[in-house]
Amino acid sequence: MSKVRLRYSKTGKAKYISHLDLTATIRRALLRAGVRLKYSEGFNPHPYISVALPLPVGCASVCELMDVGLAEDAPYGDIIGAANASLPEGIHILDAYAPERKFSEIAWIELSGVFDYDSGAPRGAAEKLAECFSREKIIIQKKTKRGAAELDIAEYIKHITFSGESSIMLSCRVSAQNPSINTDNILSALDGGYCLLRPDYSAFTRLEKYDAEMKVFR
């Protein structure tokens, strides 16, 4: 079985599509494009599709990765063009190539975000947010399969910066796996003494994925 790795974006209204619906949408687009997918055997065959670090609903991205098993080889350029013609607005295949590395090697994710406040950001919000995330320990409650557990996320944030006045822009690189630090975890860091800095609305976009040596993962 050969595989193709798809690099794609999920933006605009499409960021509210769930992981399962997104996978089904791309699968149907590939089938309409005439791509022959490889299926498992048994009573309930399913295509070999694997997504790297599924996006939380509501988070946009320009760097998502999906591996698709092919029943027969197809020109990558043809796959991109034909599949994009069938995909809805906001989902767009950016590149297709043969995978060379395992998704387990992804170590860091680069994010951008915006914090908006109904009455405008509190005075000095960017500086106070930077102070919050510069603490030696940042303890949050993180959901696990067994419930909730305390986690110090300070060591899993490689860098984080804040700027702006009425709206606050942020840029950060956070751990991708073991543990994964998601956007809810970032907001949870504002509970307690920094709760007045918690935004009324927030939006995040994944910009890039990196390996442990901070090289772009492809």
187 shares a domain with 134: yes
| CA–CA dist 4, 197 (Å, integer) | 43
What's the pLDDT score for residue 1?
62
Whole domain around residue 116: which residue ranges?
105-210
CATH of the domain at 23: 3.30.70.580
Q: Is the dihedral of CA 103, 105, 110, 111 positive or negative?
A: positive
The residue among 59, 77, 100 that closes a domain is 100
Is the pLDDT higher at 192 or at 25?
25
Q: Would you say residue 149 lies in a domain?
A: yes
The residue among 100, 117, 135 that closes a domain is 100
pLDDT tens digits along 157-187:
999 999 999 999 999 999 999 999 999 999 9
CATH of the domain at 123: 3.30.70
49 shares a domain with 128: no
List the structure tokens of 218.
Answer: 């492809």
pTM higher than 0.85, yes or no?
yes
pLDDT tens digits along 144-155:
777 778 899 999
Burial class from Cβ neighbours inside 10 Å (0-12, 13-18, 19+) for residue 73 reads exposed
